[in-house]
Structure 1
Amino acid sequence: MRAPLLALALILPLPALANCADPVDQVEMTECAGQAYQAADEDLNATYKLAMAAMKAWDADLPKDQRGAEEALRKAQRAWLPYRDAVCENEVFFYKDGSIAPLVGLACLERLTRQRAEELRAMAEGE
């Protein structure tokens, strides 16, 4: 299931033709879900950079033998990505033979990506 779900991300950059304010069919809903996931992923990447900068600053204020916030975040993010994908593959599994499967997968990717971006945003802001 991983390959089909991840393949969705490869087709997302196609020109936007859907009316996402009021999608009328499955194709438009899926395209809009793809656009929403792409926006969430862009936000995640930007927020990750902010969080990494905050962790670097945190490490800079510590003695060398106590540093590790930057590496800990990098390790956590590398572990989170396959976790997110596995969770979404699990959600899609129940719809694998249906036309709604891509929509379910993209909606899951968007939801979890937005949640992670909020976690990183809080980290970047020192919360």
Structure 2
Amino acid sequence: MMPLSEHEQRLLDEIEQALYAEDPKFASSVRSARPRNRVRTMLALSVVGVLLGLAVVLVGLTANLTLLGVLGFVLIVGSCVAAASALRGPRQNGSASLAAQAGQARNAKSNTLRTKMEDRMRKRFEES
């Protein structure tokens, strides 16, 4: 693959900003659809954590070490919480509201950006 030129990168950034300004909900859903590998990795690590926690609990029980059993239990609970948070997805506490505020603030700019981009495309097609 060939890297983008500086001009193409600038145009791509402008298109991305226009997308965030016009429809922040769609933009955030597209952005959140990417890290599926991260979710799989977190789930795999959580399963390993649960199994390791069970092993630590069993060693603690057989060795009659209460502290080791408690640590194993904490590892199991932490792994389950990590798995649940990975399945639930990213939190929407402030990032979505910030994107919505930025979209509302740039609404006037997006109209001018859109017209600029349309003008550029018309000029390109007219030159061809």
Give TM-score, length-normalised by structure 1: 0.40
Task: Please identify which structure carries the higher helix content.
Answer: 2
Larger Rg: 2
The structure with higher relative contact order (CA 8 Å, sep 6+) is 1
Give TM-score, length-normalised by structure 2: 0.40
